[in-house]
Amino acid sequence: MEPYDLDKFIRDKVKEAELAFPVNKREVRDRIWNGINRQLKLRPASWLKVAVLIVFLLIPAGVLVLQNTRQKYQIKDLRNQINLLQQDYRTMGKKLAQTQNQTPAIVHDTIMLIQPAVLTTRTDTLEVIRYITDTMVVYQQPKLAGSTNAYEDLAYPAADTGDAASELKHFSPAISEFILSDAKKDLRSKPGQSRSFSIIFGSGNTGKEDSQMNGIKAKL
């Protein structure tokens, strides 16, 4: 018999066998259909899911980045302000001596020392106070014999001829007390708003009365 006949024989037998194949098995058919369905549905859905997932992941991350950036700018801004204030008060300490003849001395464009310890400021008063409390270095004159207040002490240091009188005593922090004459309830005044209160510069170790006696009244 020719090979063709072998092929025909096999072909017939295969077709006969195929009739017995479990093509009507519901579970196999369902499994295949579910697989097809899954793949057909998953294609667009997977893109959507991925997109939604990315958005959900990016939103908090973006918010965090924004917050972080904002905080960085705020911190940078505060650092700048602090640096300016530090410069102001370093200068102010030196200028105190220059104002003893009651001539106004400009300490900084935002703070002006009009007379000994009388200050005007356009910065946040609370920041000023906090800074003064923490870091300010004040050169205080020893009390002159017979003087009754600190104005005299600072205004006329040269009047004292004793050895102690010519020395400037350096101590830090030097503020013993704030006397808030105004805006006590609203210390956080905005820069540019004028607020008036008194600061007593002094050693702080002699009680209120002594402190006032030895201190300097400052107006912010």
Q: How far is the CB of 57 from other proteins (least distance, A)?
A: 30
Instruction: Show the 3-state SS of 127-179.
Output: HHHHHHHHHCCEEECCCCCCCCCHHHHHHCHHHCCCCHHHCCEEECCCEEEEE
Closer to other proteins by Cβ: residue 17 or 60: 17
Q: How far is the CB of 18 from other proteins (least distance, A)?
A: 4
Contact (Cβ atoms closer than 8 angstroms) between residue 128 and residue 85? yes
Q: What length does the chain have?
A: 220
Amino acid at 177: E
Part of the chain binding other proteins (CB under 8 A), chosen from 22-30, 129-137, 170-178, 205-213: 22-30
- Tell whether the torsion through CA atoms of 145, 119, 189 and 73 is positive or negative: negative
What is the contact mask toward other proteins in residues 40 to 79, using x (rule: CB under 8 A)?
Answer: x---------------------------------------
For tokens 């609203």, the residue is 186
Task: Find the binding residues for other proteins in span 159-198 (CB under 8 A).
Answer: none
Residues near other proteins (CB under 8 A): 1, 3, 5-7, 9-11, 13-14, 16-18, 20-21, 23-24, 28-29, 31-33, 35-37, 39-40
